[in-house]
Structure 1
Amino acid sequence: MLAPMALLLGAVFITYKILQSIHRVYHDRRTAKALGCKPAAAIPSGILGISGFLTMMKAVKEKRWVEHIASFYETTGTTFVQTAIGGVEMYGTTDPENLKALLATQFQDFRLGTRHREFYPLLGNGIFTLDGAGWTHARGLLRPQFTRDQVADLDLMDGHVTRMIDLIPKDGSSFDIQRLFFQLTIDSATHFLFGESVGSMGSSSEAGILEKTAVGDAQGFAEAFNMSQEYLAARSRVLGFYWMINPKEFREANRRVHEVVDHYVRLALESRRHPEKQTGRYIFAEALAADNDDPRVLRDNMLNILLAGRDTTASLLSSAFFYLARHPDVWQRLRQTIVDEFGDGEHPNGDITHARMKDLRYLRYFLNEVLRLQPPVPLNFRVAAKDTSLPVGGGPDGKSPVYVRKGQVVTYSVYAMHRRTDLYGADAHEFRPERWEENSKRGWEYLPFNGGPRICLGQQYALAEASFTLVKLLQRFDRIENAQPEVQQPIIQCTLTMSHDAGVHVRLFSA
């Protein structure tokens, strides 16, 4: 008796799912027609997206998956639809109008989707993983950290940059400047955001924090943090199957990173108990502790902003020196611009201030061009919170709206958009800062710091730190050599942010 009943219930369930699917298709077609939508160009991905996924994994292994995704747009135009692993359709776009809709004008239509669950083991509940009220509150606490007065105060930064310069070989030998930049930015970010530097470059007054934890030293922390991010990126690539990627190596790396950040949680809670010891400068960690004394809440929020403070600026500076080492004419012009304004290391000309750096147009053009070709966050995505549409990308001419149903993923490649020849000219793939002299006004086609309500709060801080570091280095050194002549194009290591997989090996000389 039970067997026939089970068969009947099974048949009813299958029939229900079929009818539900038919109703969904009918609903989607009717809604798409009402919105004037037409299909986007399709990328073949095989049954259930398996062949496309395997090709992607091959590109990941070869350190070229950012370029692999960018290649899709060469055949489809600015928007495509693809069957992802598991048979779910997702969109990709590089159209400025679509990015404007995703990030600003239709902000309420799109959310972070599964990012919270994908990134939770490392980042928990923070500004990069939350939507809604939680995100709004975290952003509100962070905003005072990046006021004009805070960003313009370069004294804190000066000591860390000076320490980094001390570590650069003065005999013209080759070294990896990217490694130093990641140490610089972790030291300055922890000092700026948490009130005390982690001391990864070994300054005598601040050393010891890393040595007291399981990471052991700066290299140990970098390895743990980078490994955690590699696994987060892998979880993101497999979409709904993220839960399958949770090995012991990943969990252990997260534990080591959390142990370091927990040191700053204890400092913040101590400042809450003894407000008389606070410096008077706005410090995010102290403001966070004043708002909430839950150690897990503090750790999550502090780790989220530490990720941005360390990785994005280090990425920008590393790419800057990658190009400087291969474009001696740019080095010479940039250095002359800096020396004319601030003098050289032996004959300085006044204080280096935020306002004076912003007035150096060629420095600004140079950083714009670095960010154009190597945006620190080259890929991103949003998930539809309701049935909606993108403004363009559908139909034979790509000018019709595209229907996006609730739960559907829309990826966007800032990396690919920044290299569009119709936006940046026939030489869009070439490094040429002078293009910004010709046209320095850009809209949604230039998004190194994202846009809309979630635009990077630390944009001005990152640019100030990168500018200040460049000024100090080019004052001190008058010549650069590329120590990797075999590497002519960046080998991109993309986790949550972009770095150079082979490092950035240079030689620096002073007269």
Structure 2
Amino acid sequence: MVVITPGVDYLTKGLVFFVGYGIFASTSVSYLAARAGYDIPRWMVLAACAGSVPLMSTIYVVGQKISRWRRSYALGARIVPEVQGAYPGNLDVLHIQIKNLEVGYPGDGLDDLLKKYGPVVNMRVLWSDLILTTSPEHIKTILATDFQNYVKGPRFHNNMEAVLGTGVFNSDGKFHRSITRPMFTREKISHFELFDRRSQLAINKLRERLREGYAVDFQDLMSRFTLDSATEFLFGNCVESLSAGLPYPHNATYFPIVQLTAKGDAANQFARAFLQAQEVISIRERSGWVWPLFETTADKSYQPMQVVNAYIEPIVKEALRKKQKASPQEKGVTDSDDATLLDHLVNVTDDPVVLKDEILNIMIAGRDTTASTLTFIFYFLASYPDVLARLRDEIISKIGPNRRPDYDDIRDMKYLRAVINETLRLYPIVPFNIRESVKDTTWVSEDPSKPPYFIPAGTKTAYSVFMMHRRKDLWGPDAEEFDPDRFLDARLQKYVSKNPFIFLPFNAGPRICLGQQFAYNEMSFMIIRLLQAFSSVELDLASAPPEAQPPMEWAQATGRKATEKVFPKMHLTMYANGGLWVKMNENDGAN
């Protein structure tokens, strides 16, 4: 099968447009010249038409700015300050942002622009508006008070479609959320038997490797745990990634030969492809409308998605086959304890594409977000032994060294929730997000003495929860410090209770994360089980591969960036580049 790459498709459409424009323009000019009695050589007409393209583009851009100014004036608003780069189309700004995605700290470059231009800035990359804000009032407008005016939009959908399809995270309609919501009732998210089985497998793998004397990549382990839990929860067919051998540290002196089962090998391939596909669409979104030009020779999402689809599609087909064979009494029954999301979805639609897209979207949320948050939680526990000791005391005093926690246990553990929330504040798992305005509107100015900001229709509006969560004017002078007590002491009332929209790890409004409580339960359960089994956690930086080390120049920075021991990076979600390599001491009283 011939695969037309995004770049070839893009260039073909551009060529068709320019050829069409050339024919129309040259024919029109020749006709008008002939009517006026002039005989202009054809080559001169064609040259003039070709030269008119940049002129027409300039006229269009200038006209767009004049129109925007008139519309903003009518609304009593002001134009958002535009970044003035050194190169046309702010190509240098785009280059810096893509480079920072590879070697920078989250928010690098953007914080400098906000300091220079104000709390709201128009990146204006390649003559296309991209307005960035870290203001809780603006984010509240986007997510809640003017929710209908902000959509994912066709550009976002086009950038993400190869991986997310028409699933819940790449659509604006209520249909996709309504068909998945029944799986996140209290009854569904409170069945801890699944978590317990999978957590015990993960802990056993952890014990085995530690007893060999090697550090463990905790992020890899948690990714396997959440992937297995998510695939079993979603469609009752676990990928069994925990059956594959855990990776050894790069400095290991002896690597035993790990005999992978066929399923374990397939699980590793699936996990790698899953990550690669997300990295591709993340770069597409950040590159703006020119991203197809970077994929002229190959569609970078094609190969990884072949692997992902090869795993999911047979499961979807089997679910549809079972539905067709089910008796009339069995059809539509999805309220049993062992009913999965896929069981529910096949009773809503027979479309295999919709089914696959929904499952994949929920799996990204169910696997990546929880695994990464657990990784950063244990990064902090290894870095702050006093927090670890206090958390273990709460766990042992309320649950004991062996008992399985239940829903009420987790609900009553205030310090555990504070540790999770403080981690989500400093490392919100979706650090940047984006919408597109439907019609002309305004955003309130943070300075009451100044007019509001004008937001034109059809403008991409980006917001950073990561950067907002670290604003000292919103969280106090210790905003970059890890301190779970801020969610328990007077600071909770002083900052968060006064303005809940300064803390948005799960979004807000009509698009608030459906799996928020599921994630809290899964993370809480795993933390409890791990700290019942292990009494201490420490980073093993020597075992971490070179790519896990933060760049040396970070040490010259300010704030948390200067003291990081891991390399936080992001695609759709945040993660620790190269993993989190730790050693743990077993608790003698644990089973």
Alignment partner, residue 13 of structure 2:
none
Q: 1:409-420 alignment to 2 at 5 Å?
A: 409-420=460-471
- Would you say the 8 A contact 1:198–1:210 is kept in 2? no
How far apart are the structure 2 equivalents of 1:467 and 1:42?
44
How far apart are the structure 2 equivalents of 1:92 and 1:53?
14
Alignment partner, residue 262 of structure 1:
313
SS at match of 2:168: coil
Shift of 1:253: 0.7
Matched, 1:313 2:367: no
What runs of 5+ residues in structure 2 fail to find an aligned partner? 1-25, 33-44, 245-259, 543-548, 551-562
How far apart are the structure 1 equivalents of 2:60 and 2:108?
39
How far apart are the structure 2 equivalents of 1:255 and 1:323?
37
Matched, 1:217 2:266: yes
Query: Cα RMSD over matched residues?
Result: 2.8
C-alpha change, 1:333 and 1:15, in structure 2 (3 Å) is closer
User: Which amino acid in structure 2 is aligned with residue 271 of structure 1?
Assistant: K
Q: 1:324-335 alignment to 2 at 5 Å?
A: 324-335=381-392
C-alpha change, 1:16 and 1:370, in structure 2 (3 Å) is closer
Higher relative contact order (CA 8 A, sep 6+): 1
Deviations 1:454-510 (A, max 9, x none): 110000000100000000000111111111277651412211111000311111112
Matched, 1:497 2:570: no
- Would you say the 8 A contact 1:118–1:243 is kept in 2? no
Alignment partner, residue 440 of structure 1:
492
- Would you say the 8 A contact 2:69–2:79 is kept in 1? no
Matched, 1:4 2:13: no
How far apart are the structure 2 equivalents of 1:315 and 1:270?
35
Shift of 1:401: 1.5
Alignment partner, residue 386 of structure 1:
439
Structure 1-normalised TM-score? 0.90
- Would you say the 8 A contact 1:210–1:218 is kept in 2? no
How far apart are the structure 2 equivalents of 1:263 and 1:440?
49
Matched, 1:51 2:92: yes
Select the residue among 373, 380, 384 that pairs with 1:323.
Answer: 380
Shift of 1:308: 0.7
User: Which amino acid in structure 2 is aligned with residue 495 of structure 1?
Assistant: H
How far apart are the structure 2 equivalents of 1:377 and 1:445?
15
User: Which amino acid in structure 2 is aligned with residue 307 of structure 1?
Assistant: I
- Would you say the 8 A contact 1:45–1:82 is kept in 2? no
SS at match of 1:355: helix
SS at match of 2:501: coil
Q: 1:201-280 alignment to 2 at 5 Å?
A: 201-202=242-243, 211=262, 216-246=265-295, 247-275=298-326, 276=330, 280=336
Deviations 1:365-407 (A, max 9, x none): 10010000001100111111122222235x7x78532111122
Matched, 1:467 2:524: yes
SS at match of 1:92: strand
How far apart are the structure 2 equivalents of 1:321 and 1:210?
30
Matched, 1:140 2:140: no
Identity of aligned pairs, percent?
Answer: 32
User: Which amino acid in structure 2 is aligned with residue 469 of structure 1?
Assistant: M
Alignment partner, residue 141 of structure 2:
101
How far apart are the structure 1 equivalents of 2:487 and 2:432?
23
Q: 1:447-458 alignment to 2 at 5 Å?
A: 447-458=504-515
SS at match of 1:80: strand
Deviates more, 1:331-340 or 1:169-178: 169-178
Alignment partner, residue 506 of structure 1:
582
Matched, 1:112 2:152: yes
C-alpha change, 1:497 and 1:298, in structure 2 (3 Å) is same
C-alpha change, 1:20 and 1:78, in structure 2 (3 Å) is closer
Alignment partner, residue 20 of structure 2:
none
Deviates more, 1:372-381 or 1:257-266: 257-266
- Would you say the 8 A contact 2:280–2:300 is kept in 1? no
How far apart are the structure 2 equivalents of 1:71 and 1:161?
42
Structure 2-normalised TM-score? 0.78
Alignment partner, residue 223 of structure 2:
182
- Would you say the 8 A contact 1:224–1:253 is kept in 2? yes
Shift of 1:296: 1.6
Shift of 1:423: 1.1
Matched, 1:164 2:199: no
What runs of 5+ residues in structure 1 fail to find an aligned partner? 204-208
SS at match of 1:507: strand
